[in-house]
Amino acid sequence: DTAVSQTPKYLVTQMGNDKSIKCEQNLGHDTMYWYKQDSKKFLKIMFSYNNKELIINETVPNRFSPKSPDKAHLNLHINSLELGDSAVYFCASSQDPLDRGRYNSPLHFGNGTRLTVT
């Protein structure tokens, strides 16, 4: 009965490769997010989709491309991986974007994907 699941849990790859991380939520939420936790433990938002529409796109290299085939899925594709992309990537979902009904709509996170680029 996992609420937000992401795969794979660990991903080790070489520089220059292209990789994808998948995320699915079974909570019926309308909004999904990708967060990145870097080596300094900062959790920073990267993207947010509401009903398959991109609503947040932070200053992220365009090598990162999110794709939302439906509101229950938000995948992250990364092209030409670099050493600095090594981090833990968390998918999350909420019922509403945090600017509507947000007081009752905390984020639900997946367990993270640890990406290591060598």
Partner 1 sequence: DQQVKQNSPSLSVQEGRISILNCDYTNSMFDYFLWYKKYPAEGPTFLISISSIKDKNEDGRFTVFLNKSAKHLSLHIVPSQPGDSAVYFCAASGIGTASKLTFGTGTRLQVTL
C-beta closer to partner 1: residue 33 or 117: 33
Q: Which stretch binds partner 1 (CB under 8 A): 13-21, 40-48, 66-74, 78-86?
A: 40-48
Q: Which stretch binds partner 1 (CB under 8 A): 14-22, 66-74, 76-84, 101-109?
A: 101-109
Q: Which stretch binds partner 1 (CB under 8 A): 11-19, 62-70, 73-81, 94-102?
A: 94-102
Per-position x/- string for 46-85, each x denoting binding to partner 1 as judged by CB under 8 A, each - no binding: --x------xx-x---------------------------
5 vs 76: CA distance, rounded Å: 13
